Amino acid sequence: MSQSAVSLNIAILTVSDTRTLEDDKSGQYLVDALKSAGHLLGDRAIVKDDIYQQRAVVSDWIARQDVHAVISTGGTGFTGRDSTPEALSVLFDKHVDGFGELFRQLSYEEIGTSTIQSRAVAGFANATVIFCLPGSTGACRTGWEKIIRSQLDSQFRPCNFVGHLTGTM
């Protein structure tokens, strides 16, 4: 049985103390990639690497019925300011444990053991999936092309997240 393609509304959050819309290459990569896959940009924001600013923006998005997924870029490392996992994982109703594991496995093929410095995480909050990626454009490309794109594709088999996000499960 063939499933028809479903366009999702995806919000992009860039976590950075220095980036602007003009120089946010990772955020722009994700916007372009989701549009190329037939999805819609639900919203976009850049916030400082501050736990409460991140939570405020993402809490607003997960409360909206028109945002199906959130992808954040940045703030997943170990510096004193990196706080995305702490900021967003408390919002999760369920963790997608395999996401971080798979991301680091795939990233190992590209950057070797440096991948252990990535704290990429994902989870569901209020029927919205949230993926937290590192800030580099390469990491965003790896996360999108090798994991996220297929899980947000209603035609991907044997399973994907679309039914969970649209209430058709």
Q: What is the pTM of this model?
A: 0.95
Label residue 1 by pLDDT band (50, 70, 90): very low
Second-level CATH architecture of 14-161: 3-Layer(aba) Sandwich (3.40)
- For the chain, give every domain's residue range: 14-161
Summarize pLDDT for 51-63 with one digit per residue, the tens. 999 999 999 999 9
Question: For residues 139 and 125, what is the distance between their CA atoms, to the nearest angstrom?
Answer: 23
Cα distance between residue 2 and residue 22, in whole Å: 41
Nearby residues of 70 by Cβ (< 8 Å), 6 or more positions away: 10, 11, 12, 13, 58, 61, 62, 128, 129, 130, 131
CB 131 within 8 A of CB 70: yes
| Mean pLDDT, residues 119-146 taken together | 97
